[in-house]
Chain A
Amino acid sequence: DAGVTQSPTHLIKTRGQQVTLRCSPKSGHDTVSWYQQALGQGPQFIFQYYEEEERQRGNFPDRFSGHQFPNYSSELNVNALLLGDSALYLCASSAQGRVTEAFFGQGTRLTVV
């Protein structure tokens, strides 16, 4: 079992560009959550997908959007990148009803220059 896999591991983008990050959940998991972790801070909840729909959303602007595919994998899209979007983006997967058994991927380090 490969666990939660995220791609790419590192990414450098220019202000104003758009970025897409990808996540494959752990086998057997159907729920994917995305978190943003700024340097020296704890992860902050962006949104959660279940059954291909956004189920919950944190305090992030509409520039942050996502998608979940029928195979439960997910994408995080960020438009009009700002310098402040530089962070580690974490994907966590879990099974419906097993809310505390979330497994995190190693993250994608996004740097906006």
Chain B
Amino acid sequence: GESVGLHLPTLSVQEGDNSIINCAYSNSASDYFIWYKQESGKGPQFIIDIRSNMDKRQGQRVTVLLNKTVKHLSLQIAATQPGDSAVYFCAENIRAGGTSYGKLTFGQGTILTVHP
């Protein structure tokens, strides 16, 4: 069935370390994958996305890797800071009838805690 899941529900790192958050997906019809950050009491905030025809995309301090062979997605955060502490969700955009309408399927989330 359609699902997006995460391997690790919690991740604790020291400030300055690099963080890697993983995600598995099962729907081959997804055309976009997106990472969101959600802080307590707020809605999800867009971090970075990647098209299904790419395998890597870099942003500011973040890199997303997509491995379609094993249906795996990861988010790497460089030099993690206390302000990065939040819940991180991967989401996939499911194409409907050949068109991308932005129906997002989210994973359960990983709690990232950064210790000073």
**Chain A interfacial positions (CB closer than 8 Å to B):** 4, 31, 33, 35, 40-45, 48, 50, 55-56, 58, 90, 92, 94, 99-107
Contact = CB atoms under 8 A, between A and B. Distances in A.
Given A42-B109, A99-B93, A90 B44 contact: yes
Interface of B: 4, 32, 34, 36, 41-46, 49, 89, 91, 93, 96, 100-109
A43 B105 CA distance: 8
19 contacts: A4-B43, A35-B104, A42-B108, A42-B109, A43-B104, A45-B105, A56-B101, A56-B103, A90-B43, A99-B32, A99-B101, A100-B34, A100-B46, A101-B46, A102-B102, A104-B44, A104-B45, A105-B43, A106-B43
Contacts of A41: 108-109
Nearest to A47: B103
B44 A55 contact: no
A102 B106 contact: no
Nearest to B44: A104
A103 B106 contact: no
A44 B106 contact: yes
B46 A43 contact: no
Contact of B93 (A42, A100, A106): A100
B101 A106 contact: no
A50 B102 CA distance: 11
A31 B103 CA distance: 11
Contact of B42 (A33, A100, A106): A106
Contact of B46 (A40, A55, A103): A103
B106 A94 contact: no
B107 A42 contact: yes
A48 B103 contact: yes
A33 B109 CA distance: 20
Contacts of B49: 100
Contacts of A102: 46, 102, 104
A99 B100 contact: yes
Nearest to B104: A45
